[in-house]
Amino acid sequence: MGTIRISGAEAVIRCLLAEGVDLIYGYPGGAIMPVYDELYKFQDQLHHVLVRHEQGATHAAQGYARATGKVGVAIATSGPGATNLVTGIADAQIDSTPMVCITGQVGRHLLGSDAFQETDIIGISTPVTKWNFQVTEASQIPEIIAKAFYIARSGRPGPVLIDITKNAQFDELDFSYEKCTGIRSYVPVPKLKLDKVAEAAALINSAKKPFIVFGQGIILGQAEAEFKAVLEKSGIPAAWTILGLSALPTDHPLNVGMLGMHGNYAPNLLTNECDVLIAFGMRFDDRVTGKLATYAKQAKVIHFEIDPAEVDKNVKTEVAVLGDVKESLAALLPLLDAKSHDLWHNEFKELAKIEYDTVIKDELNPETPGLSMGETIEMINKHSKGDAIIVSDVGQHQMFACRYAKFNSTKSNITSGGLGTMGFALPAAIGAKMGRPDREVVAIIGDGGFQMTIQELGTIFQTQVPVKIVILNNEFLGMVRQWQELFFDNRYASTKMINPNFTAIAEGYHIKSKKVTNREDLDAAVAEMLASKDSYFLEVMVEKENNVFPMIPTGACVSEIRLS
């Protein structure tokens, strides 16, 4: 393969292009300027989106990755530019999002000298990256960037950070690019053992009350079709974690709802009734399991998982099937007996009716003067028909969005699950819309989280990206307030929000906006928002002190789920 003599900075751009990257998010600064200079020259091939804060770059890259399945790329300068990436990197790590972050660094001769804008971003990012590396010589760039993309997207995906010293950007190298296809110390996908699949199948076939729980692994593994086939043949009820949401259409008859702290009544209660619990691509997070000592103790657990470190980490398995879930599901399908489990499904239906009567009915048809979050989401469903990508932030509105939003297709629910990063949604929606311009993208955000990354309205204005923004404003940090009400005797410490005029702020960024206070205006406002070709900002004033139910209090058992 021939080489060309170019600068390290140009090599960075050529590497990105070779990896199929056409869109990156970032913010310039001193130590990354040589790369920005090359971005200027390559702007017709590689589009750079200037965000308003580096955290926004990471969340936008995450939103892009989650909506497209491709690697998101964020770029920043050294020092504060790099440290501002950390929250997004941590979020991507815990939610297994493929992302490559590139940071500038002071010149090699200045490393360790406390130079201007020098931080040890390798040290800082180590615990929250799948891999990181400091490049100090231009000649290292092609190999390291190739490794970065390979590591970020292979196996269980995750964030990778590459820190490039300024001298390495300026110096020249003989450039050629070869994609990375393997690293000897890294096994991204464990080899599937067919005897384990057979063992799992036998256990599933013998089960009287089998129950499937699935997570983002189905989406990351692009195994939606295989999953649906297994589900439909086996007739087993299936419930999702919030990151698994949208892997299976909401209205699928075998979809029994959401697991965990604010999940549905039936799947939580019946977790402790099933005889075989089959987990696909999920990690038994504490928000899903509640108290581990009383979680599904009666059940034999089968875990289909790509990451060996997740097996037996929280829940002891009877059979662990390691490997790529798409392959495992395909191997499992022919071994399963066709069943319907009607009586068992009836148990789910009865409990679902109890939840509908005591919680959902009132949430969707409230008698309170203020609007409810649930009815707002339902109104979005009515107009989007379940075809929108919903990007939610963190808090009560997130739980309502996940509980009530309807999804017809996969990769449609984008939310910060593991880290619970307030401020995630606005920039993530920008990335999602840029990744999938063919789809409607609706960000659902609370009045608290919105103000954590509100500056990204500037990015929306500058790029004219047509995202729809819905603020569910209860003038409280609602989730914390709910906990204060339930567990801290109504002591509302620092949860009341005195908010600015949000629509005026949106107008300031030339984003069309509307505020809805009355129920009768909601329908038309949502219709107008979704019909808009441009970005649109909709503020909905909701009941101040509504709670999200059902709820499993922290440390309680899944069967102790409360309806009120």
Partner 1 sequence: MEDKTFTISVYSENNVGLLNRISGIFLKRHINILSLNVSESEIENVSRFIIVVNTTEKWVQNIVGQIEKQIEVIKAFYHTDEETIYLENALFKIASSLLFDEKQIQNIIKDSQSTIVTVSRDFFVISKSGRRSEIEELYQKFKPYGIMQFVRSGRISVSKEKMEISSLLETFK
Decide if 545 is catalytic: no
Q: Write the interaction track for partner 1 spanning residues 259-298; mark x where CB under 8 A is met and - where it is not.
A: ----------------------------------------
State how far the Cα of 496 lies from the Cα of 477, in Å rounded to an integer: 7
* Per annotation, catalytic residue among 10, 54, 347, 456: 54
Scan for tokens 């003067």, then name that residue.
369
Give the nearest distance from C-beta 313 to partner 1 in angstroms. Answer: 6
State the helix-helix crossing angle for 8-18 and 141-153, rounded to 10 degrees: 30
* Per annotation, catalytic residue among 130, 147, 166, 411: 166
Decide if 33 is catalytic: no
CA distances from 492 to 104, 119, 548 (A): 43, 38, 17
Q: Name the nearest CA neighbour of 59 among 74, 79, 46.
A: 74
Residue numbers 126-185 binding partner 1 by CB under 8 A: 126-127, 130-134, 151, 182-185
State how far the Cα of 527 lies from the Cα of 548, in Å rounded to an integer: 26
* Per annotation, catalytic residue among 116, 353, 361, 496: 116
SS3 sequence of 97-161: CCEEEEEEECCHHHCCCCCCCCCCHHHHHHHHCCEEEEECCHHHHHHHHHHHHHHHHCCCCCEEE
Nearer Cβ to partner 1 (61/311) = 311
Give the nearest distance from C-beta 57 to partner 1 in angstroms. Answer: 24
Decide if 117 is catalytic: yes
**What does DSSP say about strands 255-258 and 210-214: parallel, antiparallel, or unpaired?**
unpaired
Give the nearest distance from C-beta 17 to partner 1 in angstroms. Answer: 24
Which of 122, 229, 333, 556 binds partner 1 (CB under 8 A)? It is 122
Which of 20, 123, 253, 437 binds partner 1 (CB under 8 A)? It is 123
Give the nearest distance from C-beta 384 to partner 1 in angstroms. Answer: 39
Decide if 479 is catalytic: yes
DSSP characters for 274-329? -SEEEEES----HHHHBSGGGSSTTSEEEEEES-GGGTTTSS--SEEEES-HHHHH
Residue numbers 301-320 binding partner 1 by CB under 8 A: 307-309, 311-313
Decide if 528 is catalytic: no
User: Measured at the alpha carbon of residue 92, what is the angle toward residues 91 and 97, in degrees to the nearest 5?
Assistant: 150
Using CB atoms within 10 A of its CB, is residue 277 exposed (0-12), middle (13-18) or buried (19+)? buried
Nearer Cβ to partner 1 (301/414) = 301
* Per annotation, catalytic residue among 282, 479, 529, 551: 479
Give the nearest distance from C-beta 283 to partner 1 in angstroms. Answer: 12
Nearer Cβ to partner 1 (153/262) = 153
Nearer Cβ to partner 1 (134/459) = 134
State how far the Cα of 449 lies from the Cα of 471, in Å rounded to an integer: 10
Nearer Cβ to partner 1 (90/203) = 90
Give the nearest distance from C-beta 13 to partner 1 in angstroms. Answer: 25
Cα dihedral 271, 275, 281, 284, rounded to 10, equals: 40
Nearer Cβ to partner 1 (192/198) = 192
Which residues contact partner 1 by CB under 8 A?
A: 122-123, 126-127, 130-134, 151, 182-186, 307-309, 311-313
- For the annotated catalytic residues, the residue numbers are 54, 116-117, 166, 479
